[in-house]
Amino acid sequence: MSSPPISRYPLPELDALPDDIKEKILAVQEKAGFIPNVFLVLAHRPEEFRAFFAYHDALMNKESNLSQADREMIIVATSSDNACHYCVVAHGAVLRIRAKNALIADQIATNYRKADISPREMAMLDFALKVSNDAQSTNDEDFEKLQAHGFTEEDIWDIAAITALFGLSNRMANFTSMRPNDEFYSMGRGV
């Protein structure tokens, strides 16, 4: 049986892609063992691909007071609220691995308010959801609540910017009907 398509748009041949994009994709494949579909789907538009991953790397690969698990929690919580298959399934897998916790991704995807997380993490996710759904109402009180949990102004920028970038990603994935790789569903479940 043939699989459903991974995008409603055409997928580029790897060899037809510009060198920098092809190299980036091969490097990911080398590390992960497979090519996450988002790379192929977004490579349909090379300029946008470069900008997206530059933004992604600027937020996800840098040093920050937010741990890698913190950042993945933000992605899973907001992507679930935006009902995005790709991001919930793929970043759920990464979250399980980063947090070394087989249960946390499904808990956060279903209802972070009842998940096994700390009050600091709850405050972080409350703010991320507010930026996602009602950024226009953010105010000093929101910043104060986060600061009471030890977040700095720069940490708060990180929370908001990750939320905003994956809000973009969720919309791109949903309108293209981007499909997560089957591999992600079971990754990190044995940790």
The reply on whether position 124 binds a second copy by CB under 8 A is no
Between 30 and 63, whose beta carbon lies closer to a second copy?
A: 63
The nearer residue to a second copy, 2 or 30, going by C-beta atoms, is 2
| Binding-site member from 110, 145, 150, 152 for a second copy (CB under 8 A) | 110
What lies within 8 Å, CB to CB, of 88 at 6+ separation is: 76, 79, 80, 109
CB nearer to a second copy: pick between 69 and 176:
176
Among positions 64, 68, 138, 147, the unique one binding a second copy when judged by CB under 8 A: 138
CB of 37 or CB of 169, closer to a second copy: 169
**Tokens 């950042």 identify what position?**
71
Are the beta carbons of 129 and 101 closer than 8 angstroms?
no
Given the complex with a second copy, which of 38 and 160 has the nearer CB atom? 160
Minimum CB distance to a second copy smaller for 69 or for 172: 172
- CA-CA distances (angstroms) from residue 90 to 32, 72, 185? 12, 10, 7
Question: Is 80 a residue that touches a second copy (CB under 8 A)?
Answer: yes
Length, in residues, of the chain: 191
- Judge whether 81 and 171 are in contact, CB under 8 Å: no
Q: Is 58 a binder of a second copy (CB under 8 A)?
A: yes
Rounded Cα distance, 107 and 115, in Å: 5
3-state secondary structure (DSSP) of residue 115:
coil
Q: 5, 22, 85, 147: which one contacts a second copy (CB under 8 A)?
A: 85
165 binds a second copy, rule: CB under 8 A: yes
Round to whole Å and give the CA distance between 120 and 2.
45
**Phi, psi of 109, deg, nearest 5:** -65, -35
Angle between helices 46-60 and 153-175 (to 10 degrees): 150
| Residues in touch with a second copy (CB under 8 A) | 4, 8-9, 44-45, 47-48, 50-52, 54-55, 58-59, 62, 80, 82-85, 88-89, 92, 102-103, 106-107, 109-111, 113-116, 131-132, 135-139, 143, 153, 156-157, 160-161, 163-165, 167-172, 174-177, 182, 185-186, 189-190
